[in-house]
C-alpha cells in the first residue's frame, strides 16, 4: 500500500550569511513513492503520492516505469493534483518502460506549477490494468515565489 510522502520545507531562517537564501533557492528531490499494480489490489487507483505545502514550485514529476502496465492496449497512467487528475502527466507514454519527465508533455502544468494551498499529487491508472510498477519522485523548490536575482 502506498504511503503519502509529506513534502517539508527547510527552515524559514537559518544562521549564517546567505544560508537561508541558499536553502530556499535550491531544487529538492523527494524520496520515491513506489506503486505496484496487480490483480490482488496491492495499490488502488487513485493513489496519493505527495502532500505539497503552499508556495511550493513543483518543477517536475519524474516517473520511472519499471514494469509496463498490462494490458498495454488502452493503458493509461495519469499524474496530477487532487483538483486536476492529469495536471502533470496526461498521456499514454508514461506506461511504457523507462523514465519520464513532465516537461515536453501537453499537460496543463507540464512547465511547472506554484501551489497556492495544500495539494495532493496523485496517480491514477486504467482500471483494466492487471500488472505494472512504477516509482514517482517530485522535483520541487520550497518558497517558490521568492526572487533571488539580487544574490551575487
pLDDT in tens, 50-76: 999 999 999 999 999 998 888 877 788
- Torsion angle in degrees (nearest 10) through CA of 37, 48, 87, 75: 10
* Structure confidence at residue 149 as a pLDDT band (50, 70, 90): low
Instruction: Give the pLDDT confidence score for residue 42 in this predicted structure.
Output: 59
Higher pLDDT, 14 or 110: 110
Give the helix, strand, coil percentages of the chain, each rounded to 5.
5, 40, 50
pLDDT band for 17, please (50, 70, 90 cuts).
confident
C-alpha cell, 10: 527547510
Query: Which pLDDT score is estimated for 120?
Result: 94
Alpha-carbon gap, residue 49 to 47, rounded angstroms: 6
Q: What is the pLDDT of residues 74-119, one digit of tens each?
A: 788 889 998 898 999 987 777 888 899 998 888 899 889 999 899 9
Collapsing DSSP to helix, strand or coil, 112 comes out as coil
Cα–Cα nearest to 113, from 62, 57, 52, 63: 57
pTM of the predicted structure, to 2 decimals: 0.84
Q: What is the per-residue pLDDT for 139? A: 95
Residue in this structure with the C-alpha cell 490482488, named with its chain if needed: 40
CA torsion, ordered 64, 65, 66, 72, to nearest 10 deg: -170
Residue ranges and CATH numbers for the domains of the chain are 23-141 (2.60.120)
Query: In Å, what is the CA distance from 32 to each residue of 53, 116, 138, 149?
Result: 18, 24, 8, 31
pLDDT of residue 60: 95
pLDDT of residue 71: 80
CA distances from 8 to 43, 67, 77, 111, 119 (A): 24, 30, 26, 22, 13
Amino acid at each position: 500500500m502506498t504511503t503519502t510522502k509529506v513534502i517539508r520545507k527547510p527552515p524559514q531562517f537559518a544562521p549564517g550569511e546567505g544560508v537561508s537564501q541558499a536553502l530556499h533557492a535550491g531544487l529538492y528531490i523527494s524520496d520515491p513513492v513506489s506503486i505496484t499494480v496487480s490483480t490482488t489490489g496491492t495499490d488502488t487507483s487513485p493513489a496519493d503520492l505527495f502532500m505539497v505545502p503552499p508556495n511550493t514550485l513543483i518543477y517536475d514529476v519524474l516517473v520511472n516505469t519499471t514494469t509496463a502496465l498490462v494490458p498495454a492496449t488502452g493503458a493509461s497512467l495519469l499524474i496530477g493534483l487532487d483538483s486536476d487528475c492529469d495536471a502533470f502527466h496526461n498521456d499514454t507514454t508514461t506506461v511504457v518502460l523507462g523514465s519520464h519527465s513532465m516537461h515536453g508533455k501537453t499537460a496543463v502544468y507540464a512547465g511547472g506549477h506554484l501551489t497556492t494551498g495544500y495539494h495532493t499529487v496523485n496517480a491514477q491508472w486504467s482500471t483494466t490494468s492487471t500488472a505494472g510498477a512504477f516509482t514517482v519522485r517530485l522535483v520541487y523548490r520550497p518558497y517558490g515565489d521568492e526572487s533571488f536575482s539580487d544574490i551575487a
